[in-house]
């Protein structure tokens, strides 16, 4: 079985979630001795990404199995090599051309969707930044893929309802957890004067993760909170009981060291298909606090391995945090259950699910 993974591989150690999925899946397929190559593009942020390279460039790296290609060489490569599986691991604009010229090459197309464009794309600068192209590509991927892969039932149900996709074309494969997070042991820290909570604000400032909504919902807190916002720094109103620290994005090793004394990771009420950051924190024993709009709720049971608050109840989150601060829950047990839950999401296991998906369309 010849496999081509197509999308953004990223560069450096600090990656987006979809890039993380791409790298981990590629690495596991290589470890299992599958015949796989990774095809990516000369993205504008990459060194030496000229217009000529975007059209005609070709560069090999990592034993010739990761290949940067311009549009013309990409089409030729897919046509000549006759892959059995062409897996779009994350949606990128350069994929538009292979989709429009689908008739040139054989092989089944599978796509992993990480989000739903209508919910994620900002209205501001919609035409200027050509966000309409992202929506168009999403529709093409839905129409031309033999199998649509989603990390959660939340995202799968969204696509089924909006695009009227049949159940037999959809499959759920959750995102995995990197080994480095599974190997680090940690005892759940004692709660002292304040609750130390993580909020991941990402690297893309076009995505609003509703930090202001979280602060609004906890405005009537009785307990003290230290909130560590990782990623984008934004202007927010100060809160009486909340001390806010802004923290830069980190490599895996830096992140693990940073999380050692933290207690919880919190997610806002906004739609989020599946959070890799939450699984990484859970692997270290941090307890997730999420709303029902978060895809990782598939693996979280309230009070057993995390907490799910109701976004429709304005005071539900504040009440939950007040109860936590008053030791109303066995947090050590919940922390241990959180670890056990994500240990089932090793990339070795997740890759086996992807291999089964590939075989199902051949």
- The whole-chain average pLDDT of the chain stands at 90
The pLDDT value given to residue 42: 93
Q: Is the pLDDT of residue 264 over 70?
A: yes
Contact 103, 14 (CB under 8 A): no
CA atoms of 60 and 76, how far apart (whole Å):
16
The pLDDT value given to residue 236: 76
- φ, ψ of residue 287 in degrees (nearest 5): -95, 125
The pLDDT value given to residue 45: 77
Closest CA to 183 of 250, 252, 230, 249: 252
Higher-scoring residue by pLDDT: 192, 42: 42
The pLDDT value given to residue 240: 79
Instruction: Give 106's pLDDT tier (boundaries 50, 70, 90).
Output: confident
**Tokens 């919190």, located at residue:** 266
CATH (residue range 179-343): 3.40.50.2000
Q: Is the pLDDT of residue 207 over 80?
A: no
Mean of pLDDT values over 163-182: 93
Convert the pLDDT of each residue in 142-163 to its tens digit. 999 999 999 999 999 999 999 9
Instruction: Give 14's pLDDT tier (boundaries 50, 70, 90).
Output: confident
2-6, 48-52, 350-354: least confident range:
48-52
Contact 53, 42 (CB under 8 A): yes
The pLDDT value given to residue 127: 62
Q: Is the pLDDT of residue 183 over 90?
A: no
Instruction: Give 108's pLDDT tier (boundaries 50, 70, 90).
Output: very high
The pLDDT value given to residue 217: 87
CA atoms of 10 and 40, how far apart (whole Å):
9
Contact 122, 206 (CB under 8 A): yes
Mean of pLDDT values over 13-35: 92
The pLDDT value given to residue 155: 96
Taken in order 45, 47, 48, 53, is the CA torsion positive or negative? negative
Q: Is the pLDDT of residue 70 over 90?
A: yes
**CATH top class, domain 2-176+346-361:** alpha beta
Instruction: Give 312's pLDDT tier (boundaries 50, 70, 90).
Output: confident
Q: Is the pLDDT of residue 221 over 90?
A: no
CA atoms of 333 and 188, how far apart (whole Å):
9
Task: Label the pairing between strands 147-150 and 170-172.
Answer: parallel
117-121, 153-157, 164-168: least confident range:
117-121
Higher-scoring residue by pLDDT: 209, 280: 280
Highest mean pLDDT, choosing among 33-47, 63-77, 137-151, 313-327 = 137-151
Mean of pLDDT values over 242-270: 91
- φ, ψ of residue 141 in degrees (nearest 5): -65, -40
CA atoms of 311 and 293, how far apart (whole Å):
8
Q: Is the pLDDT of residue 237 over 80?
A: no
Instruction: Give 123's pLDDT tier (boundaries 50, 70, 90).
Output: low
Higher-scoring residue by pLDDT: 6, 124: 6
Pinpoint the residues of the chain covered by CATH 3.40.50.2000.
2-176+346-361, 179-343
Contact 116, 163 (CB under 8 A): no
- Return the structure tokens found at 315: 């005071």
The pLDDT value given to residue 84: 97
């Amino acid at each position: 079985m010849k496999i081509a993974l197509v999308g953004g591989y990223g560069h450096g150690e600090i990656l987006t979630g979809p890039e993380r999925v791409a790298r981990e899946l590629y690495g596991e397929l290589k470890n299992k001795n599958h015949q796989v190559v990774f095809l990516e593009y000369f993205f504008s942020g990459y060194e030496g990404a000229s217009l000529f390279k975007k059209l005609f460039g070709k560069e090999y790296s990592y034993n010739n199995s990761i290949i940067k290609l311009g549009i013309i060489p990409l089409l030729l490569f897919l046509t000549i090599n006759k892959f059995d599986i062409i897996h779009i691991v994350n949606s990128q604009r350069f994929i538009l051309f292979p989709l429009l010229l689908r008739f040139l090459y054989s092989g089944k197309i599978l796509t992993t969707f990480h989000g739903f464009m209508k919910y994620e794309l900002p209205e501001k600068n919609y035409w200027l930044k050509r966000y309409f192209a992202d929506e168009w590509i999403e529709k093409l991927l839905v129409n031309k893929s033999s199998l649509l892969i989603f990390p959660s039932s939340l995202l799968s149900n969204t696509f089924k309802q909006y695009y009227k996709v049949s159940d037999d074309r959809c499959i759920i494969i959750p995102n995995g957890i990197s080994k480095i997070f599974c190997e680090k042991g940690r005892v759940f820290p004692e709660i002292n004067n304040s609750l130390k909570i993580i909020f991941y604000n990402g690297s893309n400032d076009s995505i609003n993760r509703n930090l202001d909504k979280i602060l609004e919902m906890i405005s009537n807190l009785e307990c003290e909170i230290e909130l560590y916002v990782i990623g984008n720094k934004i202007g927010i109103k100060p809160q009486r009981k909340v001390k806010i620290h802004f923290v830069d994005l980190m490599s895996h090793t830096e992140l693990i060291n940073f999380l050692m004394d933290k207690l919880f990771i919190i997610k806002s009420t906004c739609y989020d298909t599946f959070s890799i950051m939450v699984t990484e924190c859970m692997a270290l024993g941090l307890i997730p606090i999420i709303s029902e709009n978060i895809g990782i709720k598939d693996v979280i049971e309230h009070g057993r391995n995390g907490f799910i608050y109701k976004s429709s109840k304005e005071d539900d989150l504040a009440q939950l945090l007040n109860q936590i601060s008053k030791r109303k829950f066995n947090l050590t047990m919940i922390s241990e259950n959180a670890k056990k839950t994500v240990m089932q999401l090793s990339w070795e296991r997740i890759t086996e699910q992807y291999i089964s998906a590939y075989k199902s369309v051949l």
